Amino acid sequence: MFSGDERIILSVTVFVYFILLFILALYMNRRTKTYEDYNVAGRSVGFFPIMLTFIGTGVGGSTLLGYMENGYRLGMGEQWINITMLFSIIMFASFFLKRVRKLGEVHNMVTLGDYTALRYGEKARIPTVISVLFSYCAMTGMQFVAIGTILNIIIGLDMTLGIVLGWLILTLKTYLGGLKAVIWQDVFHGTIQTLGIVVLFVVVVVTAGGWELIAENARSMNEESMISIFNIETSEIFVYLLTLGVYQFIRQDLWQRVWAAKSVKVARNGYWISMIIAIGLAALVVAIGVFSRYGLNLEGVDPALIYYGVVGELFPFSLVVVMIVVLLATVISSADSFFIAGSSSIANDLIRPNVKQSDNKKMLAYSKISVLIVSVIALVFSLAIPGLVNLMVTGTAMSVSGLLAPVLFGLFWKRVTKLAGLASMWGGLVAAVIWQVLGHPFGLHPIFIGLPLSIAILLVVTFLTKDKQQVIVKKNEGE
């Protein structure tokens, strides 16, 4: 795809880019003095950086590469990923954000495990951590795959070796910086990825000759359905809704950013604006994939490499370099956020409750060690599960099956008991994992097994144990 000289230029660009990120991470490492600095950025982040870090986390490598691939391969029906996500975002902003913020302030929370432990007892931390790690290790692994793909394309590095190198680079950078470095890097990443995606979309549409010509090309190929948002199975819409969509309610990195903002107003306004932008960008990415097929007539391209095919077709090499940087920014802005979210669960929910002295210095060290643990699990995921979007959907399905019911019912229904919450977590999680291992019997996605079972267990056990356990829940909530 690139000549020898072009590969040298791209390699130098990537190298310099990572060096700059390492320098910033080292600088922030010197300013990160406490456990809360590392995991929730000292709870003092202002509007502009919180908005851009929401964007940077929301639009990752799976979005730019995976969504564009799906748009090219499957058509405009893939916009339902964004439609279901938008529904969940509106729900979270309207009904969850303020409540989550208040809980974090009152109880000084760092992780989702802090909430489930408050609501269902300390034993709830273990299934919470397992559920959280499934999603964040999968989503971190996606970014390793994305980095491996980039290195494979620009310098011809073996894919497996590229994934391992991506693992090493992202692990070291996150280990050094913590959430403070992540958020301030996202100020840069969120800006350039937003501008880059918008520019790419405009250039694709203009070059293709506009929507009418794109639609005409699709009709001439007897593939008009590919440009319709209804070109998707209903079951697939529900998979997206019940995994990527409602996962927003239990996203630990989202809860941590709500807690990291310096006020509830900053968190709310930053979230609303950033998510509108993020959903818009994701919709543009799917459309770019579709338009490249029927507007630019890019045939015979490996769908997994469509991003590179598009930028190579449209731009001179100097701008291709810029678009590679945009891609790197998109990947890195999500990867380090997922790292911190997963590692904080290990440090806060597994290590902290089991050490006699949990001072800031020790917990900061444990947090960094936890980053290394998450990185190894994520590396295994990235090598074991093919496909960026498949990897993300699989991980979130496990988390939603284990956590959605106990978290949602726990937030809004005070009758839910400790035993019901615990049984719901374990039942939904174990069922989803077994169904995944068995290879989706009867063609049913694990989310259709784990989540209904989790809800059923929670309701049945609550009604059987409500009198005894309700007193304890009310006491925990300070009533």
pLDDT, residue 391, reads 59
What SS3 state is found at 329?
helix
Instruction: Flag whether pLDDT at 420 surpasses 50.
Output: yes
261 three-state secondary structure? strand
The answer on pLDDT for 468 being more than 70 is no
Integer angstrom CA distances of residue 348 from 106, 178, 256: 17, 14, 13
Instruction: List CB contacts of 367: < 8 A, sequence separation 6 or more.
Output: 35, 38, 39, 178, 343, 344, 347
Judged against a pLDDT cut of 50, whether residue 354 lies above it is answered with yes
- pLDDT tens digit sequence for 35-50: 776 666 667 788 888 8
Mean pLDDT in residue range 251-263: 91
CB atoms within 10 A of CB 73: 15
Name, of 130-139, 180-189, 220-229, the range with top average pLDDT. 220-229
Question: 39, 109 in Cβ contact below 8 A?
Answer: no
Q: Cα–Cα distance between 328 and 65 in angstroms, integer?
A: 11
Mean predicted lDDT score pLDDT of the chain: 86
Helix or strand (DSSP H, E) at 165: helix 159-208
| pLDDT at 406 exceeding the cut of 60 | yes
Exposure of 471 in the CB half-sphere (CA atoms within 13 A):
2
Q: Give DSSP secondary structure letters for 349-418.
A: IIIGGG-S---HHHHHHHHHHHHHHHHHHHHHHHHHS-SHHHHHHHHHHHHHHHHHHHHHHHHH-TT--H
| pLDDT, tens digit, 9 for 90 and up, residues 199-227 | 999 999 999 999 999 999 999 999 999 99
Please tell me the predicted confidence (pLDDT) of residue 473: 43
Query: How many other CB atoms are there within 10 angstroms of residue 443's CB atom?
Result: 7
Q: Which residues are CB-contacts of 315 (< 8 A; sequence separation ≥ 6)?
A: 203, 323
b vs e for 166-182, b when ≥16 Cβ sit within 10 Å of the residue's Cβ?
Answer: bbebbbbbbbbbbbbbb
By C-alpha distance, which of 445, 66, 67, 84 is closest to 247? 84
